[in-house]
Amino acid sequence: MGKRYFEESELIINPDGSVFHLHVRPEDLADKVILVGDPGRVELVASHFDTKECNIESREFHTITGTYNGKRIMVTSTGIGCDNIDIVMNEIDALANIDFNTRTEKEKIRQLDIVRIGTCGGLQPYTPVGTFICSEKSIGFDGLLNFYEGRNAVCDLAMERALLNHLGWNGNMCAPAPYIIDADSELVERIADKDMVRGVTIACGGFFGPQGRQLRIPLTDPKQNEKIEKFEYNGLKITNFEMESSALAGLARLMGHKATTCCMVIANRVAKEANTGYKNQIDDLIKIVLNRI
């Protein structure tokens, strides 16, 4: 089979040789990648680096590559949502596995270790504010992976059916067409180690309605969170809500990379508690991930 060629409209490369949205060049990519949602968190991660070789800002995507204890690491912000994860993962994978000079796929797949460090809402009494949760499974309420052919081959179809039956959603009601995908198990072992909760994370297509938060307008299913908190499948319970882990785990699986998400709980939905002064505490999570990635 000949090498696949990617047209100019499909893989957009800027005049300086960088990839369209991230503005990162192939030589800036490291094998270890940390993704954060908040662009301001990139400087916090990079403040621990011993050396820095590039610092690139483009829209919500801020990237710094450097070294930490001799390990070359690239940290990039994604902004909020799985739609941005589609951009970041495809562009990072292109930097790794497509030759930008010939626009063809490279012979040998370069595998990356990718860890997202974020914030989340806790859904169980044992995930109070301040808990670090490493997602071993993600449930995508965002629909993104459904656009990729390999979706059925990598997802837990039986658990998807069990969750939909449990929620009793049909027709257009909430209409998430959830997909359920495992994070990379070796990476979860290494990053979660013995001190993080291993979680099942729902990535939602919104912060309010899709996470069962009702302000002035009513929700389609006011009992959504109650049902989600009670759901149990093969001994697993759903632990937290955030907005990116499903697309990250799903695209990484399809592309051949290792990925997981670690989040700090900043709001517990059962206890109705929140912590807005979490910026110092997330630095503890950052240091743990930098040491284990």
The binding site for ligand R1P (CB under 6 A) comprises 36-38, 80, 118-119, 207, 242-244
Hey, which residues between 115 and 154 contact ligand URA (CB under 6 A)? 119-121
Q: How far apart are CA 119 and CA 97, in angstroms?
A: 30
Binding flag, residue 266, ligand URA (CB under 6 A): yes
Is 118 or 140 the residue whose CB approaches ligand R1P more closely? 118
Residue in 243, 247, 289, 293 binding ligand URA, rule: CB under 6 A? 243
Strands (E), the chain: 32-36, 51-58, 61-68, 71-77, 98-99, 104-105, 113-122, 132-140, 179-182, 197-203, 232-233, 236-242, 258-268, 273-274
For the CB of residue 155, give the shortest distance to ligand R1P in the complex, in Å: 20
Three-state DSSP at 92 gives helix
Binds 20, which of ligand URA, ligand R1P, none (CB < 5 to 8 A, cut-off by type)? none
Is 49 or 132 the residue whose CB approaches ligand URA more closely? 132
In the bound state, the residue with its beta carbon closest to ligand URA is 121
Is 29 or 34 the residue whose CB approaches ligand R1P more closely? 34
For the CB of residue 121, give the shortest distance to ligand URA in the complex, in Å: 2
Phi-psi region of 16 (alpha: psi -120 to 50; beta: other; left: phi over 0): alpha
By CB atoms closer than 10 A (0-12, 13-18, 19+), residue 154 is: middle
Contact call for residues 234 and 131 (beta carbons, < 8 A): no
Pairing between strand 236-242 and 232-233? antiparallel
For the CB of residue 175, give the shortest distance to ligand URA in the complex, in Å: 19
Is 65 or 211 the residue whose CB approaches ligand URA more closely? 211
Binding flag, residue 199, ligand URA (CB under 6 A): no
For the CB of residue 254, give the shortest distance to ligand R1P in the complex, in Å: 21
Binding flag, residue 241, ligand URA (CB under 6 A): yes
Give the DSSP per-residue string, 131-185: -EEEEEEEEESS-GGGGSTTHHHHB-HHHHHHHHHHHT--TTSS----EEEEPPH
Binding flag, residue 38, ligand URA (CB under 6 A): no
Hey, which residues between 66 and 125 contact ligand URA (CB under 6 A)? 119-121
Q: How far apart are CA 161 and CA 33, in angstroms?
A: 33
Binds 267, which of ligand R1P, ligand URA, none (CB < 5 to 8 A, cut-off by type)? ligand URA
Q: Would you tell me which residues interact with ligand URA (CB under 6 A)? A: 119-121, 207, 211, 241-243, 266-267
